Amino acid sequence: YQSLHNCSNTTLDSQRRYFSSFFGWCHTERLIPINPIKKIKKIKSAKKLKKPYTNEEIERMRHYLFSKSYTGGNQIRNQAIFEMLLSSGVRVAELVGLNRNDIDLLNRSCVVVGKGGKERECYFSAKAQYCIKKYLDSRRDDHEALFIGKHGHRLKINGIERMIRELGNGVNVKAHPHKFRRTFATGLINKGVPIEQVKT
């Protein structure tokens, strides 16, 4: 397969996993006596170190997002999303799950539901606080969701992913939402926070 399609080891291992899942299911359902893929070990590939945003990249995106030339939809909402992702370290799934009453603007904190349904308190910057307040003041609906799309429904993960990607494209930055989380963690480590606390 690799010689025919000139693919990487990562792609090749994905193919192995698909076959393993399928034949594993066939074996569980007793359609075949053994899983023929079981003995094929994981195909290793070189892991690339995923880098955070540089300060310059952050400022380029911010400058474009706050400028009159921005063409990426609801500018006030997108500013709030950008500052929230940058300063809080929340996952995108946690961000879209936030409701208005989960946000404490006075204390600049919010309660998010993370993986495994675990609740935790997160904090955000004064810039995010200002942008969220400005966005909420601009709203003329009573939807419980903190962030909504143009049709008045709760904003979805792919909506934020598309917005961040387009924002990055506008200033020649390779951007995706999870990179904000990595940038947040790197920032804490650079400030001397022990890695165990960053993980928590």
pLDDT digits (tens, 9 = 90+) for 49-93: 788 999 999 999 999 999 999 988 899 999 999 999 999 999 999
d(CA 4, CA 18): 18
Question: pLDDT grade, residue 118 (50/70/90)?
Answer: confident
Give the distance from CA 122 to its chain's centroid.
Answer: 15
